[in-house]
Amino acid sequence: MTLTLTSLPENYRAVVFGASGGIGRALLDHIQNDPRCGSVYAASRSGVSVSGVPGVAFNLDDPASIAAAMDAAAADGPLHLVIAATGALHSEGQMEPEKSWRHMSAPRLADAFAINTILPSLIIQAGLDRLARDSRDAPEKAVVAALSARVGSISDNRLGGWHAYRASKAALNQVIRTCSIELARKSKNALCVGLHPGTVDTPLSEPFQRGVPEGKLFTPAYSAERLLTVLDGLTPQESGRLFDWAGEEITP
């Protein structure tokens, strides 16, 4: 099925950061196949082409590379869709989900905030500066979105654990909210939002899939299709908020 983003202008310009990951690649595939899309770029650490989409490189260790990658994606004109599909729950090093406060450590916290808060925040910053602006003659919807997580909701936290991951996603949600307030003063047709993709069958969730209810482990293609459908239906009045794959708002 071909997904068409009808709320964005004809020949819209897009870029997906984290395009080599499971969800990022699936988002890229849907956008690439949208007949309304004019151009799309795949941003990743390697900078290689993904599924035939031109690649641009970025690295958290070189913050200037994020702005440079965004400039390359915006070479043909201001952007209408910027997605930060980055993030990590665990790694082979210090970053493992904590089961108790006794497992918290400075390296775990630092890794989680670097990957889940600082990196997407810098992508959001660069994207907002290169978004299409309002025009009297042709107002254009533009969106900056970042993958967040339901477990970043403070009010929804009833199980505890996963301290660094929860805190880093909660911080990202606050960045999204804060940026949306400033964005509203500059462009009344633009949005900055967070997205919860559900539990997706990727390496990020693989060690934690055992307890997922039947029918709630999504393929990357399904999750990406749902997220883009949600974005297509959002209005500027919903900027600054967090929505799940079904379009339901998640409280902070």
pLDDT of residue 247: 97
pLDDT of residue 234: 98
Give the residue from 109, 85, 93 showing the smallest Cα distance to 202.
Answer: 85
24 pLDDT more than 80: yes
**Tens digit of each residue's pLDDT (9 = 90 or more) over 177-211:** 999 999 999 999 999 999 999 988 876 655 555 55
C-alpha distances in angstroms, 228 versus 132, 134, 171, 196, 202?
19, 22, 23, 12, 18
- Confidence band of 212 (pLDDT split at 50, 70, 90): low
pLDDT of residue 16: 98
Angstrom distance (rounded) from CA 24 to CA 228: 12
Residue 5 lies in a domain: no
Angstrom distance (rounded) from CA 129 to CA 49: 24
Q: Total structural domains in the chain?
A: 1
Residue 28 lies in a domain: yes
The set of residues, in sequence order, having a beta carbon less than 8 Å from that of 120 and lying 6+ positions away, is 84, 86, 87, 146, 147, 172, 175
Residue 140 lies in a domain: yes
Residue 3 lies in a domain: no
233 pLDDT more than 80: yes
What value does the mean pLDDT take over residues 1-19? 94
pLDDT of residue 136: 58
Residue 171 lies in a domain: yes
DSSP at 206: G
92 pLDDT more than 60: no
Angstrom distance (rounded) from CA 248 to CA 23: 19
What value does the mean pLDDT take over residues 161-165? 91
DSSP at 137: S
Main-chain dihedrals φ then ψ at residue 42, nearest 5 degrees: -110, 110
Single-letter amino acid code for the residue at 193: V
Strand partners, 102: none
DSSP at 243: E
pLDDT of residue 228: 98
Residue 175 lies in a domain: yes
CATH number at residue 212: 3.40.50.720
Q: To the nearest whole percent, how much of the chain has pLDDT over 70?
A: 90
Q: Which domain holds residue 228?
A: 12-250
Residue 1 lies in a domain: no
Angstrom distance (rounded) from CA 168 to CA 165: 5
pLDDT of residue 61: 94
Q: What pTM value is reported for the model?
A: 0.92
Q: What secondary structure does DSSP assign to 141-157, as a single string?
A: -EEEEEE--GGG-STT-
Q: For the chain, first and last CA: distance in Å? A: 34
3-class state of residue 42 by DSSP: strand
The set of residues, in sequence order, having a beta carbon less than 8 Å from that of 210 and lying 6+ positions away, is none
Residue 7 lies in a domain: no
Angstrom distance (rounded) from CA 186 to CA 69: 23
